Structure 1
């Protein structure tokens, strides 16, 4: 497969060969990663490989077809989406690879031909409507060749690994007069060769990969044609195919590679200190037959074609398939959430980028494709936020950190990216932040906070001269597990009994000023000695009932699941051996406005899976359904989609990517 704007309409197209090599299959782009239906073209000569290059620098990309056995190169162009053959060239027996670049600073690009069964390296130059073939090296055979600027002159040079003795040769270009010199001899077979600036010194370096040792070797250039220093890194896996590109958009070169043995595509990311991250798996395929670079004006990714599936996937910051999407939009995403919009099919994804301390909002179109990313800088380090969409393009966001006594209120306009901020300080340590509905444009912000052994509610209007409206205690004793209904002004909370194996469930309804409240005892539950309780509750709408999930811990190494209702105090059988949590944040409660029910999702440490809790009904055991098994998931959230579909959005350990899967 290849991708390019073949019809010069400003939109990227996708082309590929069918299995016979006789037909070219093209999806012409419509923009925003949308494509017209399949168009088939018959090729005059059977093709083993296709390329795209603007050979004649007319801003019209050519399609180049290679038949390895005959050594025939055919050059095509698209005119009004009709495929015209412009030229065919015979270069000799079995060239396996072609490369296109400007070695002469002329009005055309040149073609480099090489391969392990092709004698040496050949250069094809164009002048007027004719061409000339020049042999650069006829003594050795090369399976790996890369263009590189070795020095400060205006001509592009070459580097290649000789198959005969595994020597790295460089060919210095002096207006198509090439002089060869040997740089280094390797004992292990080199599988891949590429050039880029890997240490940000504006000099080109050489990257070599050995599959026998899974070693990544970097030779650092000095801009004078030499490579005085070198470094090696563990690739961890075989690299059967590679793409060298800045995928993470941090101006540092990354390496994306395919390992056929594990059937995984990995990425190795270069960090600012010129060290490399561990190889990160992007996605797994059963039978991958082709993948290539995919670029638009705003996106960069890869296209993948899988045998027998008849699908083309685009991953890494772009998407053609709704079921398998991976976006690389951030260096270190955390606190990932979905911005709920009742009037939109696809909701925005929000997160905090810890590396750059940015808040990011990804807007997607109806094809689940990235449309735009909004970013703005945070003034402090925060680990939590709540977000509310008040108007069509207006967001109110409160950033806070648990245990701190301050928060930032931000009003952000998606249309013009204008932003207004206000930092507020309160007296207690913040435990939760809630939006309070008001009759004016700016909502009030309530901070539930702890002061000594008491829990307080502090209601504020951030843009008033005296911002604190209410500052009243909720309960006199410290309560760490509670749920607050801001509309009904009811606090539901757990409180230890005098007997340390009993816990009480209570509620307290407040008056509008929170100066008084009426407490109601609902029921008691018996727990194991030394247990902890996490309460997770949600309003069920008009029924005024609450689902409460409780995670008890008696071992100290995890939370064990039980559940009961506020209405009748029913406590079903727990699944202590089956459901364990280590992180309280890996509990997600999603309110389904269509069915007027709550859906609960957890990350079960026991099965290392995201699971849904299917039954919280009276007389039934708690049932679970496995959604995604992955021991590396560090954060997740659930997005409800139309037609009873769900979207799992998650982050993985040591990965800069945001993963999406439908279920």
Structure 2
């Protein structure tokens, strides 16, 4: 997974990539001109296989920290930012054996003003909460069932019943359900309530948003096997009305989704990346609980699009669609006309065999024009496509994340308090967290690597201030480590 953000508070966009093959997180600090410093690799532990990262200030020092989800080692790793801009892996926290954590979300679940971490554990069919002390450390995990053999693959948090307490929604892959766990405001959760996503649907992705503009949060779900989108319409009291499924096309298999007003009519539309049918689909909203049949745009035969993003890439006031094409090792751009119509896909080729895993956009060279960054899971690098103001891009610049690093998840934040964005990457192949510090001109310093442990497979991370010391720290979740880890930034 890949992320773009200002990691070091320098107003320059940096890139963080997860390298599962190299078991590290790679950080490329941006110089603001479309170029980046060499990658700093932060090990996440041998065999950790980092996939996903998340960010927050875990120690209240106003510095961005990271958490890495390590699927193979069943753990989360905490990386706290230090005064010199580096990260220190301060703690690993077990998520249980075998738990296989897949994703993490950060929120204040006990209303004490300190950030907490919740992970979804696929193999143990639980969510696990780690309550934060505000100093970079956490309580041991307390788990809550998502259902027998539910195998949750994704989660997100929001206040579903308007009680100012954070709740959790999970996508349960094996039981074909969406699980809702209402927060009690003290760090604990009520028993899960399951809503069917349809027999054999296999939900893989969800997002929380008020899609009907009624001031109640809804849950939008992508069903891979059923080739459909379903919406759980929030009633504002913690319960939901299950809407009818909307087809994304026969055997389309949506892998990723985004939500935006694509035709400028004031209503939110749904955009999906259809992995099997090699298309991007747009479901336009026509009123409350009503979406039309998908309008499809081809991404080329065998492209297998697996990640989609929406932004105004050419600054013409119209939203455009970006897609990572896993099968053809390319980035596709559909330029929009502000009326819901799009041009034929413009293709930018990546390295042969790169297998782009994730796509994002950001202003890396301070020209107020969006550039593109993508993680290449098989060629162990990230790619930067710098943008001209006419909607085209310059030659692609690749930054290595290390041999066999397998970059997946990237988080962005100011890790060394220099006002420049830095990058943190989970490298599942090399079991480490990789950091690259931004120089403010689009380039990055050399990568710094933080090992997590043998066979950890760090999957996700987050940057936050754990200990209220004005430095950002890092929390990591590893697939095989059975615990989470923290990297606390030292003064």
TM-score range, shorter chain: 0.5 to 0.7
Structure 1 residue 120 and structure 2 residue 182: aligned?
no
The structure that is strand-richer by fraction is 1
Query: Could you say which residue in structure 2 is the equivalent of 1:295?
Result: 362
Counterpart CA distance in 1 for 2:309 and 2:377 is 24
Q: 1:257: how far off? A: 1.9
For 2:226 and 2:239, locate their aligned partners in 1 and report how far apart those are by CA, in whole Å.
24
CA shift, 1:49, in A, is 1.2
Deviation track 1:538-589 (CA, whole Å, cap 9, x = no partner) reads: xxxxxxxxxxxxxxxxxxxxxxxxxxxxxxxxxxxxxxxxxxxxxxxxxxxx
Q: Distance in 1 between matches of 2:220 and 2:154?
A: 14
Q: Which residue of 1 aligns with 2:107?
A: none
Per-residue CA shift, 1:269-311, capped at 9, x if unaligned? 2223322211111234212244431423624222234578665
Alpha carbons 1:303, 1:314 under 8 Å: kept = yes
List per-residue Cα deviations over 1:57-88 (Å, max 9, x = no partner). x8865534234467755565535343455866
* Residue in 1 that maps onto 2:265: 201
Counterpart of 1:585 in structure 2 is none
**C-alpha contact (below 8 Å) 1:301/1:316 kept by paired residues:** yes
User: C-alpha offsets along residues 301-329 of structure 1, whole Å, 9 cap, x if unaligned?
Assistant: 222345786654310428xx995369xxx
- Identify the residue that residue 304 of structure 1 maps to in structure 2: 374
- Distance in 1 separating the partners of 2:335 and 2:17: 28
Q: Deviations over 1:495-535 (max 9, x none)?
A: xxxxxxxxxxxxxxxxxxxxxxxxxxxxxxxxxxxxxxxxx
Provide the residue aligned with 1:280 in structure 2.
346
CA RMSD of aligned residues (A): 4.4
Partner in structure 1 of residue 310 of structure 2 = 245
- SS class of match (1:199): coil
Q: Does 1:160 pair with 2:221?
A: yes
Query: 1:125-170 deviations in whole A, cap 9, x for unaligned?
Result: 8788836487453644302323342322223311224456444321
Aligned partner of 1:130 in structure 2 is: 187
Q: Number of aligned pairs?
A: 328
Change (3 A) 1:222 1:134: farther
Which of the residues 310, 324, 342 maps onto 2:396?
324
Structure-2 change in CA distance of 1:151 and 1:77 (3 Å): farther
Tell me, yes or no, if the aligned pair for 1:74 and 1:89 is still in contact at 8 Å: no
Change beyond 3 A, Cα 1:288–1:199: same
Kindly indicate whether the alpha-carbon contact (under 8 Å) linking 1:74 and 1:87 is maintained by their aligned counterparts in 2. no
SS at match of 2:251: coil
Tell me the equivalent position of 1:556: none
Question: Which whole-Å CA distance do the structure 2 matches of 1:207 and 1:7 have between them?
Answer: 32
Superimposed CA distance per residue, residues 231-268 of structure 1 (whole angstroms, 9 cap, x where no aligned partner): 52341523422322222223333222233443332112
Structure 1: how far apart are the matches of 2:168 and 2:75? 13
Paired residues of 1:114 and 1:143 also in contact (CA < 8 A): yes
- 1:179 maps to which of 227, 234, 241: 241
Q: Is the 8 A contact 2:258 2:310 kept in 1?
A: no
- Do structure 1's residue 219 and structure 2's residue 291 form an aligned pair? no
Distance 1:12 1:109 in 2: 30
C-alpha change, 1:194 and 1:55, in structure 2 (3 Å) is farther
Q: So what's the TM-score if we normalise by structure 1?
A: 0.41
Partner of 2:467: none
Q: Which residue of 2 aligns with 1:313?
A: 383
Specify the structure having the higher radius of gyration (Cα): 1
Work out the CA distance in 2 between the residues paired with 1:75 and 1:134.
Answer: 28
Distance 1:305 1:225 in 2: 35
Per the TM alignment, residue 200 of structure 1 is displaced from its structure 2 partner at its CA by 0.6
1:265/1:284 contact within 8 Å kept: yes
Aligned equivalents of 1:79 and 1:111: distance in 2?
31
Q: TM-score, normalised by structure 2?
A: 0.54
1:204: Cα distance to partner? 0.6
Displacement after TM superposition at 1:197 (Å): 1.0
